[in-house]
């Protein structure tokens, strides 16, 4: 493939070279590479017949399903921009994203039909609603079934993607409550696919199991990486360790992509049935480093498996801890290397800079900045934040790190973000939701260590005078405003919050206090 190839070219190449091999598998249903291209071309052609053109925007809201994959492939093939929406979000959050992306078409899974019906009047930018996953259910007024579009068979798309096209908009939480739509281009995503393929060392015979949602760049990159050489992806709509083991055996999975918390649960489930994982040769984990104890348990269960950690964010996937550094944790130096996020990927440059933008002294922490061909292009409709993050060709990650012997170590997160179960949750977003409760005078949200989730969203709350709010009431309240996973898992009620000399809440003191509590 040419360095200037597109994701659509990969789809077409695979349809020629591996037409009968699976591109995607879900619940026993197989979508071959040949069929994927036909379905993608058909969807793009049907959209073109309804006035949608190259670089127009569509949105997709669904779990990891074959229909999600079809719609995504239609955009990749034709140059239509696909905005992926987190299906865990609450209705008001989805409305905000839709208002920002302004897609002309919304594809949504049947399970979200009631929610979409409730907010439809708040989506004036959407000209066409397409329901997926319920072919036998009569279409509601103003809604098409995806099967109706697929019946308009076409062998070729009406137009083809170009390397400089925008491929997708992936939305991340914003610290101010405004969603951030990361612009990812065809060229950049193609480069990312080749990088991931090289790191996984995968070929046409490989199959990856994806439990993490494909609206995230991580799982999307894994699918693109496995497809870069004609492999296939097996999709799970939700994570269940027993289901992972059964699928690994039935589908002869060779690559797993999991968050460390998921990996620990799979390892625990496999202790008495390790044979189910006998075909697995690579485990890619992301969202957090792995502990020495967790790695030892994983290596005991899967002694011949290569483990690799990925570090990055939607804006840029930066580095990986290679398999050879996972093989031993016998010494303090070995254990320390495991706490790193590995080496920058080939073609990726990392600088550690001071607040003034100068290179930090060797061994001293500073902000991690990254430059590579697989970087995002900026934030949709947000030139101010784009200028803050992209400066002189470098992506300023907001993470604090240090480089030691070529390895990149995370020291702290400049952005006030909690990473829980692999999801980025911005404290201010949760604080803003809590602050609308009449029984709360003041609050602060932090992340505290959690053995299962990595970090738990923790709220420290000052109740309003004469208020008798409790945890149950607050959780119920927040869930009407935010996705369930953003709701505080832990709450502490206090008479006041510690402050700094400038009057700001002292979150460092809060973390020190509540990180050691049960």
The answer to whether residue 287 scores a pLDDT higher than 90 is no
Alpha-carbon distance of 433 to 337, in angstroms, equals 39
Q: What is the mean pLDDT of residues 246-262?
A: 93
Please write the tens of the pLDDT for every residue from 218-241.
999 999 999 999 999 999 999 999
3-state helix, strand, coil in the chain (%, to 5): 35, 30, 35
Residue 470 is predicted with a pLDDT of 95
Residue 517 is predicted with a pLDDT of 67
Please write the tens of the pLDDT for every residue from 308-343.
999 999 999 999 999 988 876 677 777 778 888 999
Q: What is the mean pLDDT of residues 461-476?
A: 93
Q: How confident is the model at residue 178 (pLDDT cuts 50, 70, 90)?
A: confident
Q: What is the mean pLDDT of residues 259-276?
A: 88
**Domains 7-21+30-189 and 417-514 alike in fold:** no
Q: How confident is the model at residue 518 (pLDDT cuts 50, 70, 90)?
A: low
Residue 297 is predicted with a pLDDT of 86
Residue 167, phi then psi, degrees to nearest 5:
-90, -45
More reliable by pLDDT, 438 or 206: 206
CATH 3.40.50.980 matches 7-21+30-189: yes
Residue 501 is predicted with a pLDDT of 55
Please write the tens of the pLDDT for every residue from 9-50.
999 999 999 999 999 999 999 999 999 999 999 999 999 999
Return the CATH architecture of domain 417-514. Answer: 2-Layer Sandwich (3.30)
pLDDT > 90: percent of the chain: 74
Residue 329, phi then psi, degrees to nearest 5:
-140, 35
Domain spans, the chain: 7-21+30-189, 417-514
DSSP letter, residue 138: P
Please write the tens of the pLDDT for every residue from 68-118.
999 999 999 999 999 999 999 999 999 999 999 999 999 999 999 999 999
Alpha-carbon distance of 259 to 248, in angstroms, equals 17
- Which is nearest to 200 in space by CA: 320, 298, 289? 320
Full 3-state SS string of 50-104: CCCCCCCEEEEECCCCHHHHHHHHHHHHHCCEEEEECCCCCHHHHHHHHHHHCCC
Q: What is the mean pLDDT of residues 152-158?
A: 95
Lowest mean pLDDT among 294-298, 387-391, 466-470: 294-298
Per-residue burial over 253-282, b = 16 or more CB atoms within 10 Å of its CB, e = otherwise:
bbbbbbbbbbbbbbbebbeeeeebbeebbb
Q: What is the mean pLDDT of residues 114-142?
A: 92
Residue 305 is predicted with a pLDDT of 94
Residue 183 is predicted with a pLDDT of 99
Exposed / middle / buried, residue 426 (Cβ in 10 Å: 0-12, 13-18, 19+): buried
């Amino acid at each position: 493939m040419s360095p200037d190839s597109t994701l659509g070219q990969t789809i077409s190449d695979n349809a020629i070279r591996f037409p009968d091999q699976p591109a995607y598998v879900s619940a026993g249903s197989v979508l071959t590479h040949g069929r994927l291209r036909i379905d993608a071309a058909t969807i793009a052609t049907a959209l073109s017949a309804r006035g949608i053109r190259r670089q127009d925007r569509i949105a997709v809201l669904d779990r990891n399903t074959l229909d999600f994959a079809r719609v995504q492939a239609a955009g990749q093939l034709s140059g239509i921009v696909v905005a992926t929406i987190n299906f865990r979000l609450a209705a008001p959050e989805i409305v905000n994203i839709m208002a920002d992306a302004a897609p002309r078409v919304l594809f949504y899974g049947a399970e979200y039909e009631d929610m979409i019906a409730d907010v439809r009047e708040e989506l004036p930018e959407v000209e066409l609603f397409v329901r997926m996953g319920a072919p036998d259910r009569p279409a509601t007024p103003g809604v098409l079934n995806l099967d109706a579009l697929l019946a308009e068979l076409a062998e070729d798309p009406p137009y083809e993607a170009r390397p400089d096209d925008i491929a997708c908009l992936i939305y991340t939480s914003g610290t101010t409550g405004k969603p951030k739509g990361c612009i990812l281009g065809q060229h950049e995503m193609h480069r990312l696919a080749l990088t991931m393929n090289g790191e996984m060392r995968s070929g046409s015979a490989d199959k990856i199991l994806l439990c993490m949602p494909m609206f995230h760049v991580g799982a999307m990159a894994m699918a693109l990486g496995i497809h870069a050489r004609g492999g296939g992806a097996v999709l799970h709509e939700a994570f269940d360790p027993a289901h992972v083991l059964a699928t690994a055996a039935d589908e002869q999975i060779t690559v797993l992509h999991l968050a460390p918390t998921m990996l620990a649960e799979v390892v625990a489930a496999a202790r008495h049935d390790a044979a189910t994982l006998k075909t697995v040769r690579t485990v890619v984990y992301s969202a957090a480093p792995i502990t020495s104890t967790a790695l030892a348990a994983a290596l005991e269960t899967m002694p011949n498996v290569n483990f690799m950690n990925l570090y990055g964010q939607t804006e840029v996937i930066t580095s990986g801890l290679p398999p050879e550094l996972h093989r031993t944790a016998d010494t303090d130096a070995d254990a320390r290397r495991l706490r790193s996020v590995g080496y920058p990927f080939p073609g990726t440059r990392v600088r550690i800079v001071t607040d003034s933008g100068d290179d930090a002294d060797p061994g001293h922490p500073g902000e991690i900045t990254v430059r590579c061909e697989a970087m995002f292009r900026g934030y949709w409709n947000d030139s101010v934040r784009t200028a803050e993050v992209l400066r002189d060709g470098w992506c300023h990650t907001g993470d604090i790190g240090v480089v030691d012997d070529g390895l990149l170590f995370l020291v702290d997160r400049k952005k006030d973000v909690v990473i829980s179960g692999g999801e980025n949750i911005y404290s201010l977003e949760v604080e803003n939701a809590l602050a609308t409760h009449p029984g709360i005078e003041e609050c602060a949200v932090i992340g505290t260590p959690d053995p299962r989730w990595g970090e738990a969203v923790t709220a420290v709350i000052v109740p309003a005078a004469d208020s008798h709010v409790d945890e149950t009431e607050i959780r119920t309240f927040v869930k009407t405003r935010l996705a369930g996973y953003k709701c505080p898992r832990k709450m502490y009620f206090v008479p006041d919050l510690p402050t700094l000399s400038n009057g700001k809440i002292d979150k460092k003191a809060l973390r020190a206090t509540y990180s050691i509590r049960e």
